[in-house]
Amino acid sequence: MKILTQAAAWRAAATTVCQRCLSTTPQLQRKNTKNSPPKKSMSRVGSRHKPLPFKTSLGAKSKPQYSKVRDAVVKKLKRPNRTFGAPKTDELLSRYVAKEMPSVAKTLTPHMLEHVGLDVQDIEKSFQEFSKSLINDDNSLIKSSPAYKRIRQANTPREITNELAYHFQCAAYKDVISKHTHQAQGTLVDLRYPHEWFPATRSVARTIHCHVGPTNSGKTYRALQALQGSTRGVYAGPLRLLAAEVYNRMIAKGRACALYTGEEIRIPKDTDQYLTSCTVEMIPLNTRFDVAVIDEIQLIENDQRGNAWTTALLGVQATEVHVCGENRTLPIIKALCRSMGDKCIVHNYERLSPLETVPYTIKTLSELEKGDAIIGFSRITLHQLKRQIEMHTGRRCAIIYGSLPPEVRAQQAALFNDPDNEYDFLVGSDAIGMGLNLEIQRVIFDKVVKYNGVKLAPLTVPEIKQIGGRAGRFRTARSDINAVDSPGDHGSKEKIGFVTTRDKHDLKLIHEAFKTTAPLITKAVIEPPAGLIENVAALYPRGTPLQYILTAIYKAAKTSELYDLHVTRDTMDIAGLLEQIPLTIHDRLTFTRLPANLPENKHGDLLSIPEIPLSTLDMSPDEESGKMEYLEQLETLHIALNQSLVEEKLISTLEDLDYTQSYSHPKKKSKGWKDGGEHNDLSWLFRGGAVSFAPETDVEGDALGKEDELKAACTLQQG
């Protein structure tokens, strides 16, 4: 247990409590720029290059149009390709392989070998044979090697290293693992029919209602009307904030409602007939519902979280299942319905308010108008924009991004939506494109590229449309709570949404994106279920690395044309980090679903802070706000003050390891956690603008998804 506790403490992230609750400047004055020299606009990547022409026609064998837009952006940026994708030279690849070979040799440790029947000499011999089969004497690669083709197809250095490790382990285990093992494995990894993993759901006569249309078309509103009219229903959304928003709406309508997210569970008292609002990873699969609503269904193709949407669609036991998303999801939804034998009804929607891409850009911050939202893709950029906007306009600016605590995001959204205060502007990440209801009049892209976890990449056409479509919102959650009739009956003046950029060269890309038809979604992402992985692991000698087993499953699995098998990079990395710890496959799989900050893969005690910087409390937030040293001190101080919360989160994690408690039962929470306690009372400390340092991901809510999946793992139906 001591080792298990250290492992959980090693991976568990500190509770994020650095909240940017209010503005960084309590008393703002409009800056007098009459006699001051004109300020240069913020530098953005690629602003000195001319726009490139775009072709809007699609040939029969040509790439999707959105790929041309992305390729044009990459070419305009003139940035070197930092991955090993094409074009990729053998010379560069050979140098990287030679550099990584020593680390590959260390992937098999004595601890792993003691149960396999191999010793260090055997491994050294296998490594020498593997090296000779891949690398010539002149350090060039042998093209006839089985590993050569695989590493040539890899797109990132991490994938190349994983391929090298897998083929080396194959060479080491070739005398230990029999052909019978591989044959038995091939039988187990038949993943062509994932819907058969949910036999209880297959006994329910389901009707799938597809609400498809662009953003701000009322599709989610109609689905929620069906949910509100049901006796027992469930809403599953992509964000905790969105789940909390639906929860508050149902409570305001007088309906008893439960809330299940990765960090909060609320269950109504004195009744067993209530609705449920949760994140997709937390959707109950062993409970019968009248109506289920699955929002943002287009994320079913997402490599990191798509499995959660696939599992929800295939496994939820509801008579009516309402899925909401983009039109391009219809092919995969219809195909899945045919495979499951479910009835499919399509509801098409059009935008309730016009959306225009304007021909001008926002050159200076003084041109901003009430209701404007500037979109950026890093916390530093967003906080810089916030401060500059407040200094130049003398008005408040709200801020929203993925790693903000849910209560802070909700507060910032409420401040921006309230027309009777000074919060006229909003800066936010692509989190606002995930269904958050904000009264945005004009969406302004600060730039059209973002870091996707591997490299700096341009936004895709669906991303641009999803974010830009938030302009001219017809109705927000606040107005929905007070509304009774249909979304078109509230009598407000029609709002026109506008989309533009701060860089004139980026404007061309935005215009082309809205004219381009995004490619259809034809596959749903799945991951191998835990039970299957355990069965395959039982075929191998005890101590076989989980990374090897996952890679073997991925390579040997059989899937149909409807599904795309995927094992996330974080899962592979965490599995590798845990190889030194004596855990069962069951527990290893549990830990791979924990939220992990891989860039800071440190180990140590639960709390090891040399000193607590209490002097930070004496600093003036108005003067120190935005300085990295000040923000780091606040981070350290908050960790120290919330040690009890970190310990409680660790205990909760350890309780989940045995899967004996269903997440649908309320957990015992301390008063400080349940009622807010000191966590909420400390919000005054961060009104100066402290930044949350929680890890960011290329897909908003990725870390959230893994934590929720941990708690929902016990609900998988057993055949």
Q: Which residues contact 179 (CB under 8 A, 6 or more apart)?
A: none
Instruction: Kindly state the tokens that stand for 507.
Output: 């404007």
Place of tokens 């006994």: 203
H or E stretch at 246: helix 240-252
Q: Pick 289 or 622 by higher pLDDT.
A: 289
290-310 average pLDDT score: 94
Instruction: Kindly state the tokens that stand for 334.
Output: 């219809």
- The rounded distance, in Å, linking the Cα atoms of 519 and 64 is 6
Cβ-contact 427, 42 below 8 angstroms: no
Largest CA distance in the chain: 83
- The rounded distance, in Å, linking the Cα atoms of 257 and 261 is 13
Q: Which residues contact 241 (CB under 8 A, 6 or more apart)?
A: 406, 409, 410, 413, 436
Give just the sign of the alpha carbon dihedral 480, 483, 484, 487.
negative
Q: What is the pLDDT of residues 452-486, one digit of tens each?
A: 766 788 898 989 998 998 888 754 444 444 444 44
Among the residue ranges 101-115, 324-338, 516-530, the one predicted with the least confidence is: 101-115
197-201 average pLDDT score: 94
What are the C-alpha distances in Å from 370 to residues 13, 396, 443, 593? Answer: 37, 10, 12, 42
pLDDT at 595: 56
Report pTM: 0.68
Q: What is the pLDDT of residues 415-453, one digit of tens each?
A: 998 888 889 999 998 878 776 778 899 999 998 988 876
Residues β-bridged to residue 500:
444
pLDDT at 33 over 80: no
C-alpha 122 chain-centroid distance: 42
- The rounded distance, in Å, linking the Cα atoms of 292 and 296 is 13
Q: What is the pLDDT of residues 634-687, one digit of tens each?
A: 656 655 555 444 445 555 555 544 433 344 343 433 333 333 333 333 233 233
Residues β-bridged to residue 355:
497
pLDDT at 541: 78
Cβ-contact 462, 298 below 8 angstroms: yes
Residues β-bridged to residue 235:
277, 293
pLDDT at 182 over 60: yes
- The rounded distance, in Å, linking the Cα atoms of 666 and 653 is 15
Amino acid at position 308, single letter? A
Cβ-contact 539, 385 below 8 angstroms: no
- The rounded distance, in Å, linking the Cα atoms of 245 and 416 is 15
pLDDT at 208 over 60: yes
For residue 618, give the nearest of 633, 632, 628 by alpha carbon: 633
Q: What is the pLDDT of residues 486-502, one digit of tens each?
A: 444 433 445 789 999 99
- The rounded distance, in Å, linking the Cα atoms of 462 and 321 is 24
What does DSSP say about strands 343-348 and 423-428: parallel, antiparallel, or unpaired?
Answer: unpaired
- The rounded distance, in Å, linking the Cα atoms of 608 and 12 is 14
Task: Count CB atoms within 10 A of the CB of residue 343.
Answer: 11
Q: Pick 73 or 164 by higher pLDDT.
A: 164
Structural domains of the chain, ranges and CATH numbers in brackets: 2-25+591-715 (no CATH), 90-188+528-565 (no CATH), 194-348 (3.40.50.300), 355-513 (3.40.50.300)
Cβ-contact 578, 7 below 8 angstroms: yes
pLDDT at 633: 65
Q: What is the DSSP letter of 694?
A: P
